[in-house]
Chain A
Amino acid sequence: MSIFTNRDGSRDGHHKPAGYSAFDLFRRGLLGTQWPRAWRSHDLKPSYDVVIVGGGVHGLATAYYLAANHGITDVAVLEKGYIGGGASGRNTAIIRSNYLTPEGTRFYDRSVKLYETLAADLNFNVMFSQRGHLTLAHSDSALRTSRWRAEVNKLQGVDSEVIGPEEIKKLVPYLDTSEHARYPILGALYHPPGGIIRHDAVVWGYARGADAHGAHIHQNTEVLGIEVANGRVRGVRTNRGDVAAPVVVNCTAGWSSLISEMAGVKLPITTFPLQAAVTEPVRPFLEAVIVSGTLHVYVSQTDRGELVFGASVDPFPSYSMRGSLEFTEGLAGHVLELMPSLAKLRVLRQWAGLCDMTPDFAPIMGITPVEGFYVDVGWGTYGFKAGPVSGETMAQLIATGKTPPLIAAFDLARFAEGRLVGEKGAASVGH
């Protein structure tokens, strides 16, 4: 007997959203008619088939694919603030799949594939810009790791290659590729399908899609406790009342330890702030996404002309999102190492998000010792890239009860069993 009451059953909540297209824009512009809500608000029901904790890209994608792929629509997504207000709205929106391990590469490649068709699938332009991704190597060991990644990637059918300073200079004329640089650029891992995306649009697109299929999105709804009895999850307590549910999914970032602890599940996670900054807009000059592991920095230019910067996580764990001056100082130094002519460019804003770091820099996905309580956590600095594929695989797991092969390596039990994932090798900074 299925625990999912609504599966393939009634289509109560289902509605067809207003279509988005140039024609609709024109029509509504001409008539001056208002666009309808992208997603609706609902009362919190006393029970759902599935409760998803966390209204970021992971939670919303899971809700969307539960409905779209498996017909499970009696789903609530509980978000303590506003949707996409956590890590989903604070990352630097870089998408890539050039990981070091075969399991990592396959997993993120699926994500890139889903991203490629996401705008059409969701009828929401997520502005995925596959402008190429360059991981610079400043030492021969970094170059070796680049080649290692390229070789593993190619074997998984992912487009990656190692290129030299001349080609790099052609792609990004602003880079100092001279031999005299303090950290000379010896080569780079070039990953043409990598790029950037409008992160908020992905969140909103999934929210709109999930809503259209009948899922309930509850903002300002904070989970205060998780009910567990006889080793089974029973539901959650929230600031708006209790909700019974046979399936509870922890899709949070930053608070994943705390949420899991509510269910009595301990995680190998340490939470670190990850900071980012954006400059004032300037005319487009930077096409590719640039990453330097040695200099702990990544840079891209948005369509609006701003440069978006990120770095590695803060040097000590914290739940603070206030940000630090040390971060922008270090960042600026490293950006100018790479592109010395940008000294007059101004930083406009800095912010921070929270990253749940695991010992092997790979996520924790799947079942837990508490039946019905699933985790999709421990995303470190890679969570946003994995949004679609995580939603797809978590939905599959919840619907079928079977762990999809794509995420088998990311199970929680691997730590107790000493089977760590090998992504640690290349992960000092890897956006």
Chain B
Amino acid sequence: MRSATVQTRMPMRLGPQPGEVIDRHRPFTFTWNGERYPAFAGDTIISALAASGERVFSRSFKYHRPRGLLTASFLDPGCVVQVNDEPNVRGSHRRVEPGMIVSAQNAWPSLRFDAKSVNRFLGRFLPPGFYYKTFIKPQRLWPAYEKVLQRFAAGGRTFPDSPHGYYDKRYAHPDIVVAGGGPAGMAAAVAAAEAGARVILVEEEYELGGHLRWGSEDELGALRELRDEVARTPGIEVLTNSVVNGRYDGNWVAILQRNLPHVEERLIKARAKVLVVAPGLIERPYVFRGNDLPGVILSTAARRLINLFAVKPGERAVVLTANADGDAAVADLERAGVEVARVEDARRGGDIIGARGRNGVRMVECGDGSRVECDLLVTATGWTAPTSLLNMAGDRPVYNPTAARFFPSRPSDDVLATGGISGDGSLDELLAHARATGQEAARRALKVGSALRAGVPRRVDVEEPPDMPPIEIPELPVVEHPELFQGRTDGIVDFSEDISSKDIVAAAKEGYDSVELMKRYTTATMGPTQGKLETVNAVAILARATGKTIEETGTTVWRPPYAPITLGALAGRNFEPVRYSPMQPWHERHGANPMVAGAWIRPEHYGDPESEARNVRENVGLIDVTPLGKLDLRGPDVPKLLNLLYVNQWNTLEVGKVRYGVMCAEDGVVLDDGVTGRLGPEHYLMTTTTSGAATVWEWIESWLQTEHPDWQVHVTPVTDAYASINIAGPKSRELLLRVAGDVDLSPEAFPYMNVRTGTVAGVEGCFMWRIGFTGELSYEVHVPAAYGLYVWEKLMDRGADLGVKPFGIQAQRILRLEKGHLIVGQDTDGLTGAYSAGLSWAIKLYKEDFIGKPELSWQSECDNSFQLVGLQPHDGSVVPPEASQIVEGENEIAGRITSSCMSPTLGRSICLGFVAPHLAEPGTSVTVLLPNGERTTARVMEYLAHFDPKGERQRG
């Protein structure tokens, strides 16, 4: 092992700078590629490394060329690093922290010697899309080739045991979101807040100020003033190190907040009444031979390094400048003690032909052919307008050849733009534009806000805002800028994807000649910077290759998110509601195995489902059936409703009686089933399946509200209001007798399929149903939920000598299968009609109307679909797994097993299943293909019920 060495000096660190963001009183160290490096608080990872003289931070994706810093901003394509277990950290943005462990990502075996860099000599054989043209034959070798390709996948590492971390989200309802905290964003926010709007001001970097931060004394003064204004204007919430990540329909604005004290990342979802887009401009790289060498940097990068981080970007520089920012960079470099060996002024025909060097620039070939030795090449060749938020709002940016950049075209009512994206001009002109934009945004936002409030019915206190005339926003001048995209040589266009200008031309010549096809074929703009640095150059090069103008060529569509966002922040707390029955504490104490049933957590079993089932047949068992859907129905028209919903007849149900019902959808497919009891003259209680509870309720409301609004019925879900306990088994009456207060439980007074209201274990207002899913004598007791646990415990206590035991879902499934009761959704599927589910006995086609009637009446005339039947394997020890197929002849599917189990009661396997109509005759032998490939035979039974088909036990 190599021992860690400590760098103590920071040779490239300059003396104090007026606008620096580092805190020289807080030095510390961190680790880069296994070695310790010094840093100051406020440094980014890359600024700290640059201060120590490091220049290579990654290897490029395809050719594994050394890469250094280019933009010194979030976008910096060569500065993506691994921090601890976090991949793809933007090293030029992320602040370094004491003890941070940082490593380079795309290098093997090491950053200094990268074995894959041989690819750079193979470049000519690896044109864009080369993989489409090779590895075709022999086909069997493709998987091996694929493995090799995968090894080139760029990016950091993930770990299967990384902790999830804490992320959350919040909603916001500002009047205005301002995207961008540069001078224009700040001025717009202040103006809007002064006009009475609530504003969220979002800045991607750690402080407000934008380009003023690395500017002149005057600019720093203006910055201080603007920051003061923001601070003292009420109604502005400032979010730094945050980014407006997307604008969606309804001006739903996603804001990502990073590195909060208690949350790693937070997503803010803002319903902005107006979005003001003020992101400034992104400096565009220049395309020429060697433009990706470490030491080739943008003018803004040089100025950021010097002014914000007090880092000297090099010793001897050549500068290519086409604008005032380039000129300012020259001044900054000189002030920082960098020898400026040559200034190539593109406005006067200056140019760069190429840069040379191995792990960094050593020499630059200038426009006139002369060669200058240097270790730094700074370019200032123009700007890209980050129009993506406008684009997401439907705007199509338009290219302006005068300014050599794209501009927003069609402003919408709820999105405005200001700052550099809208035009050029002096700081004063920009600020005036921004202020007017802020005022206009406020005017519109207040109007929208009041309309939203007025949209809430029965609100009395909405004040109409005075109708103000629109604020006139002055036009910003457009300053002429040379169109500089590619010089006389080929170079890298997409630094993340390692795509050169040659690649784009080659793609165009092959027919991939529209922007989208070129993008997809070469993958240019598809990498981590998502086109923010490279799109305009790519479009310009494509335009030239196809003989079109940039306007004709157009640009790609920008898609959200604006900046990459963690899955953690997008997920937030990951709300997944869960439901528990009142008896859950008891289940947990008694070893219930939890089963997820939709939102409910239910006891699957308590250790031994078969003995639980046997105990029901022999003694008495309790099952918690609280999740069963329950709907309270009241009103004189309930019978009409029931007749509509169910396929069977409901006119004649007497008070105290219960009936089983089946619901179908309009296409005749079985939707749900359950029992409904009549509790009083105009009062019914309907039960549904657990999974169908919500659907059925919404379904009923739909019929009532839209088809029969004149019916006098109230439907109220009461699933949770009652704890439901099914007491099942031959001794259930005896057990219930011990706790029931005022209800006559004798078979004569309280027969099968009846319901009574009374007191159980001292709890009033309980419903007792004599029904049975298990086929045993059983009572389903609905207890006011808060007393559920109390009553359950009482029953367990009082029934101890009767052998009472709990049983779970699994035992219940065994019992119901023995009894041949179907489960909708298991023994039926999305296309099972009521006839094929063996429910013909229930369907009353003579009723005037019910849901699904037409389809069912046609089905009754001709139904050749599979039929649900009881099945018993001839070999009773074989349990065909559910979904085993029933086959005929040459593997023709003739049915399937829908339910199966080993019956503890019968001591043999039993099934329900679908069979083709010609196999449905009782006594038919069918062939069942088991999942293990073996075959077995089974007999079609007379009844669905395998046990007590006449139902004597439950009626007892």
Contacts from A to B (Cβ < 8 Å) = 20-22, 24-26, 28-30, 32, 34-40, 81-85, 89, 102, 116-117, 119-120, 123-130, 138-139, 141, 144-145, 147-148, 150-152, 155, 161-162, 173-174, 182-184, 198, 200-201, 204-205, 219, 279-285, 303-305, 320, 322-325, 328-329, 331-333, 335-337, 340-351, 360, 418, 420, 422, 424-425
Contacts and interface: CB of A to CB of B under 8 A. Distances in A.
Contacts of A22: 134-135
14 contacts: A37-B510, A124-B132, A139-B597, A151-B884, A174-B160, A200-B521, A281-B153, A323-B560, A328-B570, A336-B164, A336-B567, A343-B566, A344-B567, A345-B567
B816 to A, nearest CB: 15
A340 B884 CA distance: 34
A343 B162 contact: yes
B467 interface: no
B571 interface: yes
B906 to A, nearest CB: 22
Contacts of B248: 322-325
Nearest to A173: B160
Interface string B604-615: 000000000000
A123 B136 contact: yes
Instruction: Please indicate which of the listed interface residues A25, A117, A173, A337 has the most CB atoms of chain B within 10 Å of its own CB.
Output: A25
A191 B831 CA distance: 25
Nearest to A28: B127
Contact of A322 (B125, B392, B530): B392
Nearest to A349: B559
A219 B517 CA distance: 11
B830 interface: yes
B160 A324 contact: no
Contacts of A201: 132
Interface string B106-120: 000000000000000
Contacts of B931: 147, 150-151, 161-162
B150 interface: yes
Interface of B: 85-88, 124-127, 130-137, 139, 142-143, 146, 149-151, 153-165, 167, 169, 246, 248-249, 252, 254, 264, 267, 269, 392, 506, 509-512, 514, 516-517, 520-521, 523, 528, 530, 559-561, 564-572, 574, 576, 578, 596-597, 825-826, 829-831, 855, 858, 881-885, 887, 891, 893, 896, 929, 931
Contacts of A148: 883, 896
A115 B830 CA distance: 31
A292 B569 CA distance: 21
A198 B883 CA distance: 34
A29 B134 CA distance: 13
A361 B749 CA distance: 52
Given A125-B136, A304-B523, 4 more contacts: A305-B153, A305-B154, A323-B559, A344-B86
Q: Shortest 5 CB-CB distances between A and B: which pairs?
A: A305-B153, A332-B570, A343-B568, A281-B155, A346-B564
Contacts of B831: 360, 420, 422, 424-425
Contacts of A360: 831
A332 B560 contact: no
Contacts of B132: 20, 124-127, 198, 201, 204-205
Contacts of A279: 564, 567
A342 B929 CA distance: 41
A81 B516 CA distance: 10
A119 B146 CA distance: 14
B155 A280 contact: yes
Contacts of A123: 136
A280 B528 contact: yes
Nearest to B569: A332
Contacts of B252: 325
Contacts of A39: 511
A124 B142 CA distance: 13
A147 B826 CA distance: 13
A144 B882 contact: yes
A158 B358 CA distance: 54
A420 B855 CA distance: 13
A83 to B, nearest CB: 8
Given A120-B139, A333-B572, A348-B528, A151 B125 contact: no
A32 B135 contact: no
A280 B564 contact: yes
Contact of A280 (B88, B160, B830): B88
Given A21-B136, A25-B125, A303 B571 contact: no
Contacts of B517: 82-84
Contacts of A124: 132-133, 136
B751 to A, nearest CB: 35
B573 to A, nearest CB: 9
A331 B570 contact: yes
Contact of B153 (A26, A120, A284, A336): A284
Contacts of B158: 174, 282-283, 285, 341-342, 344-345
B570 A119 contact: no
B857 to A, nearest CB: 12
Contacts of B126: 29
A147 B881 contact: yes
A341 B560 contact: no
A419 to B, nearest CB: 10
B596 A120 contact: no
Contacts of B884: 147, 151
A346 B574 contact: no
